[in-house]
Amino acid sequence: MNFKTITAAVAVLGAGLALSACNGANTTAAVDQVPNPYGDNVWSGYQTARSGVRAMQDDDFENPGMPVYDAAEELYNADDGVAGVSCADCHGAVDDAKGGRFGIPMKGVAATYPAYDVEDHKPINIELRINKCRTKYQQAKPFKYESDAMLGMTGLIAKQSRGMPRMTTADSKGDVLNPFWMQGQAFYYQRRGQLDMACSHCHEDNAGNMVRAETLSQGQSNGFPTYRLKWQKPGSLHRRFRGCNKNIRAEPYGYGSDEYLALETYLAWRGRGLPVEGPSVRK
């Protein structure tokens, strides 16, 4: 891959980040914005997790998913594909605050996604962005959505944004993501499956209440990817979506589907202001 091609690759990624930054400037346009159903009481699932689970998340040496995320740093730095370039060739070291020679660091990325993809004209999450860079610029095979390689890379990227608040103005009518935010909102409140339930029945109407031996959370997405003790491995947000759909006897959508991307966009808005916790630990 020559300098011109790499520059074009970075320009596309930078355009997506620039859109997010520009959209952030619209937060004063409150007339176009919708109040969060939770009001000021927005909280992470960490709040109601058991003390042992919180302890695992608080200490990277205790986080059982950390070997997967640490191993991904080798992938990040390794030349790959026909083009023979690495992530580090464009972005610098994963923890480089300057973002390498092109000035696009990994720090802050997890706080701004899903972002608008200027080429595909729809939301793109970190998983799909990774694969787009792999296939288009590294000319390498895409990672499988729930593979250790993909989960490791998303966890590695999320780790660089820990503590940073989630940011989105997708509810604003002037935001390019607003149509997808509206689709995600409709999905969230739509009854489905044999149990005839919507996301809101658990995560809005009954957040904080007990179901069997567990406390229902607000269903926030700021901790993904997460290591679930139930899964005994890390998993993506879309895996959690599919699990919820299966629990209410509804047909799940595919990983990276437009339906789940819209829902992910909407959830990012419901949890705006919450700090990035990923890669987290949950039961």
- How many angstroms separate the CA atoms of 120 and 43, rounded? 33
- How many angstroms separate the CA atoms of 236 and 224, rounded? 6
Candidate list 22, 87, 199, 244, residue with the active-site label: 244
Q: Is 244 a catalytic residue?
A: yes
Phi-psi category of 137—alpha, beta or left, where left has phi over 0 and alpha has psi -120 to 50? alpha
Residue 18: its H or E element: helix 3-24
- Buried b vs exposed e over 232-250: b needs ≥16 C-beta within 10 Å? ebbbbbbbbbbebbeebeb
HEC letters along 172-210 = CCCCCCHHHHHHHHHHHHCCECCCCECHHHHHCCCCCCE
Query: Six-digit token pair at 232?
Result: 């005994």
- How many angstroms separate the CA atoms of 255 and 126, rounded? 13
Closest CA to 119 of 259, 14, 255: 14
Strands 280-282 and 226-228, sheet pairing: parallel
Query: Six-digit token pair at 17?
Result: 């980040």
Residues annotated as catalytic (active site), given as ranges: 244
